[in-house]
Amino acid sequence: MPLFTRFLISLAATVVSLMASYAANGQVILTQDMVSIGKPDTLGAIINIESASKWHGIETIDAARVVRFGNPQLIREGSVVVLDDGSRLVAKELHTVGISLHAYNQLWDEITLPLRPVRGILLRAHTNPDQTQAALDRISDYQGTRDRLLLANGDFIDGIFRQLTPLTVEFQVGDKALKLDRKRVLEIEFAQPAGSLPKAQEGIWIGFEDGSMLLASDLKLADERLQVQLAGGITLYSSNLENAYRYITYLRPLGVGVRYLSDEQAIGFKSLGFLSAGWDYQQDRNVLGGTLKSGGYVSQKGLGLHATSRIAYKVNEGDVRFRAKVGIDDDTNGAGSVIFKVYTTRTGKEWKPVFESPIVRGGEKPLDVSVPVAGMKGIALVVEFADGADVLDHADWLDARLESK
């Protein structure tokens, strides 16, 4: 066994031993795989979180260098409340009282939110998580000047939202007041003011085991209780559950030293379909518009490409390394096979290969990619088909990013 592998196994065993000791003493312990800038992936352990930027673990944790901690979960049931900042809160028993939305969630107990920052509501999650993702994106992207209901039969109604009760959705269309059976309504999309909100540059994304994903301006985790501060002065406090911290499955701080390629403008893209043509690339989604997920690894950030394709980005001064995980999206149910390649250029004209994967097939765990880029002007990501031409070659570049020192 290689020395480095033995070292990682020994380190993991030490962490597990220390975690057991802390747990026995009643300390809060949150353990997940942790990805940090410039370091190999490790098993991290958090004893408490003082704030979004101050974490305390068995060993020192520099939250400003953490790319991600843990793994997001897919939404599989319940209603979903979508907020202006992209937060998505899974809950049950949703109803409105005046200008407030009330809901129940096992972690937060009863939730009360002002309707103003609510972008819309998915009343029932779909069986297929990718359909749920598409619905949530549709709600987030809605820019209409009137409220809208999407019905179960595919029709939509524009008007003014009045009230949500346990059994009905009350809606005003002109002079006509409608009271619709709640089972007939899939989505409620609220009218939006002109323009869109700027993306948050600070804070922390928090993922929970029910699939909720909240963008917090601050977070505290101590004495087995959670306190999450959202935009607009909204604060959520966990109920009196034991081990409430165990509901957290994912943390991703903003403002760390990485540039996600999905947030950058590509300097070139080309797709050469073999059996099918016209595939575009997707930012933070797979090629079908669903959540990026491969071998159970789920990512908020990344690129979805279809074989055969090539996409290029500028490398800035200060970027030292490109990192990602690569795999076939789980939406293929084990089908598809591709080869991932990375090229870099120092001059902007001559491109040299710096990484080539073995054949990656659907159902396999994603592979790690780490390529030095200091002194380079550009980087190109390439996906080529392997077995079976390009059928279901839904290739994911998960967490694709350029890291600085």
Euclidean distance between CA atoms 221 and 291, whole angstroms: 28
pLDDT confidence tier of residue 16, bands split at 50, 70 and 90: very low
* Backbone φ, ψ for residue 8 (5° rounding): -65, -40
Token pair recorded at residue 198: 């700027």
**249: Cβ–Cβ under 8 A, 6 or more apart, which residues?**
32, 70, 71, 72, 73, 207, 208, 209
Give pLDDT, residue 3: 47
pLDDT confidence tier of residue 25, bands split at 50, 70 and 90: low
For residue 11, pLDDT over 50 is answered with: no
Q: Which amino acid does the sequence have at 185? A: V
Q: Which of 6-15, 34-43, 127-136 has the lowest mean pLDDT?
A: 6-15
Q: Could you state, in order of their start, the residue ranges of all structural domains in the chain?
A: 3-68, 258-404
CATH 2.60.120.1060, domain 258-404, yes or no:
yes
Q: Which amino acid does the sequence have at 399? A: D
pTM of the shown model: 0.91
| Segment 226-274, tens digit of pLDDT | 899 998 789 998 987 677 788 999 999 998 899 999 999 999 999 987 7
Token pair recorded at residue 108: 């937060």
Euclidean distance between CA atoms 138 and 154, whole angstroms: 13
